[in-house]
Every structure is written in C-alpha cells, then in structure tokens.
C-alpha cells in the first residue's frame, strides 16, 4: 500500500478535494492523508461540491503537516505554490509532485459563480488524481 500526503496552505479545500479523489480512485492500494502548512477548517463548499460528485468528505478534518512528520510517505503532492514554497523537509524518500490549482475559496462573485468555480476546480483536481493513480499506483 502506497502512502500519499497532499499538502495545501490551509487544508481546507484543494487538498481535501484531492484526498477524496485519491482515496476514491486508489481504493485499497493507497493510504491518503492531507494537511496544510496552516489549518483553516474544512470548507463547507468543498464538502458540498464533492457530495455532488458522490464523494463524502464531510468527516475530513483540517490537519497541520507537522502531525504527519513521522510517516514515511511514498508520495507528497503539493496542490498550491504557497505549500510548495513552505513545505517542510520530510526525512523520507517520498517522490514529490506539484500542481498549482486555483483556490476556489478566494473566488469573488455571486453564490452561483462561486459554486461554479468550486466545480471547475473540482473537475481539474479529479482529472489530476485519476491520472496520478493510473500512472503511479
């Protein structure tokens, strides 16, 4: 079983979406964790957007990366430039990947426009995670 850590700034949105999809596509072949270089709580719109796609992340928590320092990860994926720049050193042989996804939580607009942005980013992350699992697991 491969251990994957997904890192974001606040572990509230992008990393939560990625954790949900990596678990979904990886199944029993992966153990997936997500964390932030800060903790901001899980974004309710992220939960709702994933529910629309049949994935329940309502039980996820917002965790700080330091909580996982002792785990020997196989892969560490940063999903925003800020987390990549602030990513702590892991004493591991983990292969590191990076993809800077837009932050839908910072999108400004009407509620419908914000939800559309969450869905757009969700689909980007879904494609990335499906491809990641198919290429690396």
Confidence of residue 83 (pLDDT cuts 50, 70, 90): low
- Convert the pLDDT of each residue in 85-131 to its tens digit: 666 555 578 899 999 999 999 999 999 999 999 999 999 999 999 99
Clarify whether 87 is annotated catalytic: yes
Q: Which H helix or E strand runs over 32?
A: strand 30-36
pTM: 0.93
Clarify whether 80 is annotated catalytic: yes
Clarify whether 8 is annotated catalytic: yes
Residue 6: is its pLDDT beyond 90? Answer: yes
Question: So where are the chain's domains?
Answer: 2-136
CA dihedral 37, 39, 45, 49 (to 10 degrees): 50
pLDDT at 37: 85
Q: Order across the sheet with 75-78: list the strands.
A: 30-36, 2-8, 75-78, 95-98
Mean pLDDT of the chain: 92
Q: Which of 4, 8, 13, 133 is catalytic?
A: 8
117-120: which pairs have CB atoms within 8 A and are 24 or more residues apart? Answer: 118/45, 118/46, 118/48, 118/49, 119/49, 119/52
Q: Return the percentage of the chain with pLDDT > 70, whole number.
A: 92
pLDDT at 14: 96
- Convert the pLDDT of each residue in 8-63 to its tens digit: 988 999 999 999 999 999 999 999 999 998 898 999 999 999 999 999 999 999 99
Q: Which of 38, 53, 86, 87 is catalytic?
A: 87
Which CATH code is given to the segment(s) 2-136?
A: 3.40.50.2300
Q: Which of 80, 83, 129, 133 is catalytic?
A: 80
The number of beta carbons lying within 10 Å of the beta carbon of residue 122 is: 25
């Amino acid at each position: 079983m491969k251990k994957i850590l997904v890192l974001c700034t606040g572990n509230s949105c992008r990393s939560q979406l990625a954790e949900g999809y990596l678990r979904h596509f990886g199944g029993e072949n992966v153990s997936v964790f997500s964390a932030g270089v800060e903790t901001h709580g899980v974004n309710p719109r992220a939960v709702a957007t994933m529910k629309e796609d049949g994935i329940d992340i309502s039980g996820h928590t917002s965790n700080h990366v330091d909580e996982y320092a002792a785990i020997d990860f196989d892969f560490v994926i940063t999903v925003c430039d800020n987390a990549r720049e602030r990513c702590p050193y892991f004493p591991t042989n983990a292969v590191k990947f990076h993809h800077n996804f837009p932050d839908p939580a910072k999108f400004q607009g009407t509620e419908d426009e914000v939800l559309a942005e969450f869905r757009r980013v969700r689909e980007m992350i879904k494609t990335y995670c499906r491809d990641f699992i198919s290429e690396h697991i």
